[in-house]
Amino acid sequence: MTVSTTQRRSPLPIGLYASLLPPLIWMSLLYFAPIALLVSYSIWRLEAFDIVKEFSLTNFQVIFTNPAYRTVILRTLGTALGVTVIDILIALPLGYFIAKFSGRYRSLLTLLVILPLWSSYLVRVFAWKIILGYNGILNTALLSLGILKEPSQVFLYNQFSTMLTFVHVWLPFMVLPIITAFERLPNNLLEASADLNARPWTTFRRVTLPLVAPGVLAGSINVFALTMGDFITPSLVGSPSGIMLGNVISSQFGVAYNWPLGAAFALVVMLLVFSGLAIALKQGALESL
């Protein structure tokens, strides 16, 4: 009786629990606790420079009823989607070439894609100020070619310069998962499609694109999330009328000292990003990589 009871008892997985404890503490302190604090601030309100710790939806009411804030949200969403689409259009042919045709130079080309990530983010943004500025490289080249008679200011401090900088600085985050997706694409499927007399566009649309879609979605959520939360690029190369949600959040936590409203704006950004992430997860974007 004693032996059979002992055999039925399984030893407590103390080692398993012990191994889970460090990441649990790590996630609790650095992820769940800040989010809980952010949610708490978002439902408080500011009165006479004092934070009133009472439940209130005033901040969200302000965000969604103020036309200026709605414009900022739509501008940020449109910019993030535009940057994501442009990066997809650039990364698809580039990733296809690197994965399928680069041969022994694949590692070198992949390294060149990663290389900008090893430089400072600010350096890359300031590089575009040097290129697009009044006395920058682009104006100098156009003047030397006779296209312009005097330097132009249309290239910098507008929505064009903001999107161009975003497209460049976040492009590696789109290219890398697409390269991985193309490397996993079986060549025999492309050959079978060609044997069935399918045109290249038909093969791309019905064979290639569905199989690399998880990589495209994974890259898209990277670029979309990074653009949604950025406030440095619009500050350095954008116009004052082109501020984004990141700039509003920064100002609310800074000079405005309205932390509850800033937390509410941050939650709006998180909800938009999580919505995109939910779509990507539903399509199996992360499972296939």
Residue 10 pLDDT grade (very low, low, confident, very high; cuts 50, 70, 90): low
**Percent of the chain topping pLDDT 70:** 93
> What whole-number distance in Å separates Cα of residue 171 and Cα of residue 285?
18
Q: What is the pLDDT of residue 252?
A: 92
Given a cut of 60, is residue 187 above it in pLDDT? yes
Mean pLDDT of the 204-212 span? 89
Q: What is the pLDDT of residue 5?
A: 52
Could you read off the pLDDT of 146-168 as tens digits, one per residue?
888 888 888 999 999 999 999 99
Given a cut of 90, is residue 185 above it in pLDDT? no
Structure token pair of residue 21: 């404890």
Which residues neighbour 231 within 8 Å (Cβ) at sequence distance 6 or greater? 244, 246, 247, 249, 250
Distances 138 to 116, 158, 160, 200, 281 between C-alpha atoms, Å: 21, 16, 14, 37, 41
Q: What is the pLDDT of residue 184?
A: 87
Given a cut of 60, is residue 192 above it in pLDDT? yes
> What whole-number distance in Å separates Cα of residue 258 and Cα of residue 253?
6
How far apart are the two ends of the chain, measured CA to CA in Å?
51
Q: What is the pLDDT of residue 195?
A: 85
Could you read off the pLDDT of 61-119 as tens digits, one per residue?
999 999 999 999 999 999 999 999 999 999 999 999 999 888 888 889 999 998 888 88
Q: Among positive and negative, which fits the CA dihedral 137, 141, 144, 147?
A: negative
Provide the 3-class DSSP secondary structure of residue 237.
Answer: helix
Mean pLDDT of the 44-51 span? 86
Mean pLDDT of the 9-16 span? 67
Residue 12 pLDDT grade (very low, low, confident, very high; cuts 50, 70, 90): low
Could you read off the pLDDT of 129-138 as tens digits, one per residue?
999 998 889 9
Average pLDDT, the chain: 88
Q: Are 259 and 37 in contact (CB under 8 A)?
A: no
Q: What is the pLDDT of residue 265?
A: 94
Total H helices, total E strands in the chain: 15, 2
Could you read off the pLDDT of 232-265 as tens digits, one per residue?
999 999 988 889 999 999 999 988 889 999 999 9
Given a cut of 80, is residue 6 above it in pLDDT? no
Residue 284 pLDDT grade (very low, low, confident, very high; cuts 50, 70, 90): low
Q: What is the pLDDT of residue 276?
A: 80
Q: What is the pLDDT of residue 1?
A: 47
Overall residue count recorded for the chain in this entry: 289
